[in-house]
Structure 1
Amino acid sequence: MRRIALVVLLLCLLAGTTGGILIVEFCPDPYRPGDPDEYLVLEGEGMLDRFVLSDGKGGFRFPPGTRIDGRLVVARNGPAFEETHGYLPDFEIEGRTPAVPDVVSSGNLLMANQADALYLYRGATLVQQVAWPADVRPREGQVHYLEEGVWDPRPFFIGQSRFSPATFDGVAVTAFAAPDCAYDAFSAAVASAEREVLANVYEFTDPAMAADLIRARERGAAVTVLLEGGPVGGIPPEERAIAGILNQSGIVVLSMTTTDAAHAKYRYDHAKYIVIDAGTVLIGSENFKPGGYPAPGLQGNRGWGACLEDPGLAAYFREVFLFDAAGGDIVPFEGTAAGVHVPYAPAYTAEFAPCRAEGARVTPVLSPDTSALILRLIEGAEESIAIEQAYITNETAYELNPYLAAAIDASRRGVAVRVLLDACWFNVEGDADNDEMVDLINRIAAAEGLPLEARIVDLAANNLAKVHNKGVIVDGRAVLVSSINWNANSPAFNREAGVIIEHPGVAAYYARVFADDWDAAAAGGTVIPGPDRLKMVAAACILAGLMGLYVYRRGRT
């Protein structure tokens, strides 16, 4: 009996080691012409002697005695895969290099871009199959991956990171708001730098912020700046000039862009953060522009930011920066020797000073890696949600933005929800932008009797250039400070960065800023004139002047 029990146990163990081998990742349509770097990944433990991979037309098996312990990468062409990913695969299908073992092919397994399938057999038994477009959506550059039995829980493309959620306790926080005190917070943080400053920002056109980084470099700190290489509208002359000034001072300036060597990792590098001395992170909604971090006493955007002091949190963001700043899509950005023009800004009376708090719990939010944390934040609300966004766009004409949908669902269970959107002309002059979104939200609230309300901000009442914020406050305890816009692109395809800060004092600070903007919008928002409206306003002013002159002259006769 003991011998039989041992045999049964051995068979169970063997079944467990081989039965767990699965296809967990594949890329049928990489960016390189002809797709020589297409690949698949097996994961599990056990011998591979009886396993066969097929696409229904061709296939391969492994050399006798091959064993898998963890992950095993099979690429079509080893050297091509190495050029794309920076390391050689475990096996290759087309024998091109002695450094990579070959699989034993039968026919030619080539993964078609738009429609195909992969089949994993163990002997004559079909262990797994995955087909596209049935199981995954085909898209150039996308890596399809299996996580907890689900294919593609989020879009994932060649070169991108897969950072996991992490939470850090005991973080010291300095919360700040733009335009009131944003520049002072930035300048003070950079002034503390002694060894290293890593800055990742979508756009950089502010000479005062550049001067702060140059002073850090002059003190001996190593400063590196990573910029988006193809922002909407192109790189402005002011940014090229800033890059030139930074380069002249010895600061390394890089840009992320598609090159001959590699496709850009993200649609846009839209993050806005700096890491200082591996101990401090400054992060927010604003670009490094005069409107985002205006000089004290000058008008600018409404934005939220936070300076966070914690070695573990800083190490996390430092790893993110170093990952993003490496690869064939990262190139030096030398800039120009031109001067920098700073646009005129009206005077502004600050209302909010920075708020210091100790002992916060902070969770980084990265797009596209952990954008789902925003949904969890909203879905976990029990009492209130305050949302202040530059804009919100729906996924389709029939499908709400998922974050907005989660907020509306929260109102259906009794959570009080307020949504405040920008009123600048480019966010209200279209046929489906902020004013239509506010109307839609309020119609849903009225039809269902929900504790839900949306408003357009009154920029003139609070002397703001625009609302560029991407913030959320939940239950007076947790705040999202981020660069993540509420559209289809930002959470899924951009590199974005934010944090969820859990601390009642910090939440109360941002709630006061939000309430100031919300209360000013009570009578209906004002719209900053766009190009066409400026012409109309100018024409109206001229007409009014002529009428005044006519009345004046009539009065003198």
Structure 2
Amino acid sequence: MRRIAAAILLVCLLVAAVDAVQIVEFCPDPYLAGDLDEYLVIEGRGVLDGYVFSDGEGGFRFPPGTRIDGRVVVARSGPAFEQTHGYLPDFEIEGRTPAVPDVIQSGNLQMANQGDELFIYHGTTLVQKVAWPGDVRPREGQIHYLENGIWDPRPLGIGQSRFGPETFEGVEVTAFVAPDCSQEAFLSAVSSAEREILANVYEFTDPTIADALIGARERGVEVTVLLEGGPVGGISPEERAVAGALNRSGIVVLAMETTDLAHAKYRYNHAKYLVIDGETVLLGSENFKPGGYPAPGLQGNRGWVVILEDPDLAAYFREVFLIDAAGGDIVPLEGTAAELYTPWAPTYAVEFGPCRAEDARVTVVLSPDTSALILDLIEGAEESIAIEQAYITNETRYELNPYLAAAINASRRGVVVQILLDSAWFNTEDDADNDEMVAVINRIAAAEGLPLEARLADIEANNLAKIHNKGVIVDGRAVLVSSINWNANSPAFNREAGVIIEHPAIAAYYTAVFLDDWNASKGSGAGAAPGPDRLKIILAACILVWLIGLYLYRRRRT
């Protein structure tokens, strides 16, 4: 009887092993010519004897006795895979290096870019089938992966990270805003550094920040700066001058860009943060530019920034930085010897100082890794949502931005929603930007009788250069501070960084700043700075009024 039970148990274990082995990741269309770096990842446990992996035209099996205990990476070419990913695969299909064992081929398994299938057979039993298009949508550079039984829960490109959501308790937070007190807080954080500063930022043109980092380097702090290598409009002469000054001081300046060795990990490296001494993180909506960190009493952008003091949170961001700053897409950025200068700015009456709070709960939001947390934040609102954004664009002509759609849906269940958008001419001059978006939101609110209102910020009334913020406040308890714009690209394809801070004092602080901007912007079209087309219309109207007045004057004279 015991032998029969043991035999049944052995059969059950073998069946379970068959079920456990599966393809959990593959990349059929990488960037290298000829796709020699295409690969698949198999997950499971046990001996792989009897398993065949095929695309219907060719296939392979593993050498007899090969065991799997977790994940096994199989690439077409070991050296090509190493060039793309920085390490060798476990097996290769086309024997190209003695350092990597070969699978046993049968025909030619080569994954087609736009349409193909992968099969796993155990004996004559089909264990798994993956098809594209179908199970996944093909795209160059796309890594397809299985998570909780779902293929491609979010876009994942070659070289990108896969950080999961992480929350940190007991964080000390200093909240501040641009233009009021951003420079003072930033310089104070840099001056506290004793060992290391890691800076990741989209654009860097501020001479004052450059001088602060140079000063840190001169007192022995190791400083590394990572920039976007291809920002919109290209790297400016001002940024080249800053890079040159940093280079000459011994600071390492790197750029993320597509090279001969690797494709850029992200469409844009758009994050804006510092990691200081592995203990502190400074993070926000602002680039390292004079408009984001103006001297006290000078005009600049409206932006939100925080300093977060917690070694575990800082370790998380340090790991993000080190992963992003490695690989074939990272190159030294050589600057120029041009003189640094700070452009003139109007004066500004400071209203807000920093706000410090202890024992905050902080959840990290990374794009594209965990940007879905923003949806969770909005969908969890019960009473109020305040949104201040540089701009909001829809996914398609017929599909609302998902964050905006979630906010509108929240208003349908009674949540009071306020949306404030920038009104600078470059965000209002076209046929489908902020002024049209405000009109659309308010039409929906009026048609359905919702507690929902959108406004254009009156930047003249509040003496701001522009709204550059990417912030959300929910229920007066949680605040999103981030670099994540509300468009189709930023959450899904950029490297972005943000945090959701849960603390009543921090929420109250940013609510006061938001309401100051909101109350100065009564009326949905208030403060829209005239762009070139609008200036022409205004000029034409003035001429028309003058001609009509002249005509009426002459008629009265005759």
Alpha-carbon distance in structure 2 between the residues aligned to 1:53 and 1:450: 55
Alpha-carbon distance in structure 2 between the residues aligned to 1:543 and 1:451: 41
Alpha-carbon distance in structure 1 between the residues aligned to 2:536 and 2:189: 43
**SS of corresponding position for 2:108:** coil
**SS of corresponding position for 2:35:** coil
Alpha-carbon distance in structure 2 between the residues aligned to 1:273 and 1:373: 19
The 5-angstrom pairing of residues 499-518 of structure 1 reads 499-518=499-518
Q: Tell me the equivalent position of 2:255.
A: 255
Alpha-carbon distance in structure 1 between the residues aligned to 2:360 and 2:542: 53
Alpha-carbon distance in structure 2 between the residues aligned to 1:482 and 1:395: 20
Alpha-carbon distance in structure 2 between the residues aligned to 1:510 and 1:168: 20
Question: How many Å apart are 1:539 and its aligned residue?
Answer: 9.4
Q: Tell me the equivalent position of 2:65.
A: 65
Unaligned runs of 5+ in 1: 546-557
The 5-angstrom pairing of residues 111-190 of structure 1 reads 111-190=111-190
Alpha-carbon distance in structure 1 between the residues aligned to 2:496 and 2:351: 29
**SS of corresponding position for 1:465:** coil
**Identity, % of aligned positions:** 77
Alpha-carbon distance in structure 1 between the residues aligned to 2:187 and 2:530: 32
Alpha-carbon distance in structure 2 between the residues aligned to 1:275 and 1:535: 47
The 5-angstrom pairing of residues 187-266 of structure 1 reads 187-266=187-266
| Equivalent pair of 1:18/1:47 in contact (CA under 8 Å) | no
| Equivalent pair of 2:172/2:358 in contact (CA under 8 Å) | yes
**SS of corresponding position for 2:208:** helix
Q: Tell me the equivalent position of 1:277.
A: 277
2:530 is equivalent to residue 526 of structure 1: no
Question: How many Å apart are 1:6 and its aligned residue?
Answer: 2.4
Alpha-carbon distance in structure 2 between the residues aligned to 1:215 and 1:209: 10
Alpha-carbon distance in structure 1 between the residues aligned to 2:178 and 2:473: 17
| Equivalent pair of 1:365/1:498 in contact (CA under 8 Å) | yes
Instruction: Output the amino acid matched with 2:20.
Output: G
| Equivalent pair of 1:282/1:305 in contact (CA under 8 Å) | yes
| Equivalent pair of 2:81/2:89 in contact (CA under 8 Å) | yes
Question: How many Å apart are 1:398 and its aligned residue?
Answer: 1.1
Question: How many Å apart are 1:234 and its aligned residue?
Answer: 0.5
Question: How many Å apart are 1:243 and its aligned residue?
Answer: 0.3
The 5-angstrom pairing of residues 344-423 of structure 1 reads 344-423=344-423
Alpha-carbon distance in structure 2 between the residues aligned to 1:115 and 1:452: 45
- Structure 1 residues 218 and 537, CA gap change in structure 2 (3 angstroms): farther
Alpha-carbon distance in structure 2 between the residues aligned to 1:416 and 1:51: 57
Instruction: Output the amino acid matched with 1:48.
Output: L
Alpha-carbon distance in structure 2 between the residues aligned to 1:406 and 1:158: 30
Moved more, 12-21 or 160-169: 12-21
CA RMSD of aligned residues (A): 1.9
2:288 is equivalent to residue 288 of structure 1: yes
Instruction: State the TM-score, normalizing by the size of structure 2.
Output: 0.95
Question: How many Å apart are 1:542 and its aligned residue?
Answer: 11
Question: How many Å apart are 1:120 and its aligned residue?
Answer: 1.1
Q: Tell me the equivalent position of 1:455.
A: 455
**SS of corresponding position for 1:460:** coil
Instruction: State the TM-score, normalizing by the size of structure 1.
Output: 0.96
**SS of corresponding position for 1:34:** helix
Q: Tell me the equivalent position of 1:551.
A: none
Question: How many Å apart are 1:401 and its aligned residue?
Answer: 0.5
Question: How many Å apart are 1:537 and its aligned residue?
Answer: 7.4
Q: Tell me the equivalent position of 1:312.
A: 312
Q: Tell me the equivalent position of 1:550.
A: none
Question: How many Å apart are 1:540 and its aligned residue?
Answer: 9.5
| Equivalent pair of 2:54/2:118 in contact (CA under 8 Å) | yes
| Equivalent pair of 1:147/1:153 in contact (CA under 8 Å) | yes
Alpha-carbon distance in structure 2 between the residues aligned to 1:540 and 1:403: 39
Question: How many Å apart are 1:528 and its aligned residue?
Answer: 2.3
| Equivalent pair of 1:18/1:46 in contact (CA under 8 Å) | no
| Equivalent pair of 1:270/1:495 in contact (CA under 8 Å) | yes
Instruction: Output the amino acid matched with 2:530.
Output: P
| 1:388-413 Cα shifts (integer Å, max 9, x gaps) | 00000110111111111111111111
Q: Tell me the equivalent position of 1:548.
A: none
**SS of corresponding position for 2:33:** coil
The aligned length equals: 548
Question: How many Å apart are 1:134 and its aligned residue?
Answer: 1.2
Question: How many Å apart are 1:4 and its aligned residue?
Answer: 2.2
Alpha-carbon distance in structure 1 between the residues aligned to 2:532 and 2:209: 29
2:91 is equivalent to residue 109 of structure 1: no
| Equivalent pair of 2:143/2:156 in contact (CA under 8 Å) | yes
Instruction: Output the amino acid matched with 1:4.
Output: I
| 1:139-164 Cα shifts (integer Å, max 9, x gaps) | 11110000000000000011111111
| Equivalent pair of 2:171/2:360 in contact (CA under 8 Å) | yes
